[in-house]
């Protein structure tokens, strides 16, 4: 699964779209027609909006967290739909709407992914702890892990670590 705005496989696009269909209602409602779900733990409205804006502009790929083995304390979660180009086998270019998950760490660094599995993990977090990141338990730290499929492909998921 690609973590940047590069070409991704049609099967990956479909997996991401399916993950969005399975996301909590609040996420689906907010991202409908190009909107964005954002929950950022920052009481100051100006800083919350600035963190959200900056995260959408300056996100690192989540694979950085896999490579470093670092776990982050989430300060915010953003889900939006990105338009990604996909080159077909015949060379034609199509544009697909693909969900994008951005997690803002407590130091303000943002990490993004177009992975349907990451979106499923975020959906599970929202279902378990609620849509307001400010109300999540203080000790939650997230790691991005890579798991292989039976066919040898690699998928990313979130894991709560202690």
* Average pLDDT of span 121-127: 94
Give the containing element (helix H, strand E) for 51. helix 45-57
- Domain span holding position 124: 10-161
Q: How far is CA 154 from the centre of its chain?
A: 16
Task: Establish if 3 belongs to a structural domain.
Answer: no
Count of structural domains within the chain: 1
Task: Establish if 104 belongs to a structural domain.
Answer: yes
The whole-chain average pLDDT of the chain stands at 88
Task: Establish if 126 belongs to a structural domain.
Answer: yes
Q: Report the distance separating Cα 46 and Cα 76, nearest Å.
A: 15
Reading phi first (left if > 0) and then psi (alpha if -120 to 50, else beta), residue 34 is in left
Residue 2: its pLDDT value, please? 41
Whether the per-residue pLDDT at 7 is higher than 90: the answer is no
- Percent pLDDT > 90 in the chain is 57
Residue with tokens 């009481």: 43
Question: Which among 92, 102, 123, 121 is positioned nearest to 10, based on CA atoms?
Answer: 92
Backbone dihedral angles phi then psi of residue 89, each to the nearest 5 degrees: -60, -30
Task: Establish if 72 belongs to a structural domain.
Answer: yes
Whether the per-residue pLDDT at 11 is higher than 90: the answer is no
Residue 30: its pLDDT value, please? 87
Task: Establish if 2 belongs to a structural domain.
Answer: no
List pLDDT tens digits, range 16-49. Answer: 888 888 888 889 888 876 789 999 999 999 999 9
Task: Establish if 1 belongs to a structural domain.
Answer: no
Low-confidence winner among 81-85, 100-104, 110-114 (lowest mean pLDDT)? 81-85
**pTM to 2 decimals?**
0.86
Whether the per-residue pLDDT at 3 is higher than 50: the answer is no
The pLDDT confidence band at residue 162, using thresholds 50, 70 and 90, is confident
Task: Establish if 78 belongs to a structural domain.
Answer: yes
Task: Establish if 5 belongs to a structural domain.
Answer: no
Residue 10: its pLDDT value, please? 66
The pLDDT confidence band at residue 5, using thresholds 50, 70 and 90, is very low
């Amino acid at each position: 699964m690609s973590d940047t705005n590069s070409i991704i496989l049609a099967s990956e696009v479909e997996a991401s779209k399916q993950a969005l269909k399975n996301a909590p209602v609040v996420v689906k409602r907010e991202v409908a027609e190009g909107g964005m779900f954002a929950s950022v733990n920052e009481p100051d409205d100006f800083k919350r909006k600035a963190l959200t804006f900056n995260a959408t502009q300056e996100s690192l790929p989540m694979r950085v967290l896999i490579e470093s083995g670092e776990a982050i304390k989430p300060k915010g979660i953003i889900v939006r739909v990105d338009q990604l180009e996909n080159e077909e086998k015949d060379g034609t270019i199509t544009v697909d709407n693909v969900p994008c998950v951005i997690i803002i760490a407590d130091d303000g660094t943002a990490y993004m992914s177009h992975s349907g599995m990451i979106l499923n993990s975020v959906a599970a977090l929202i279902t378990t702890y609620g849509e307001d990141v400010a109300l999540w338990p203080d000790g939650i730290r997230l790691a991005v892990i890579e798991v292989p499929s039976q066919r040898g492909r690699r998928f990313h998921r979130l894991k709560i670590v202690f």
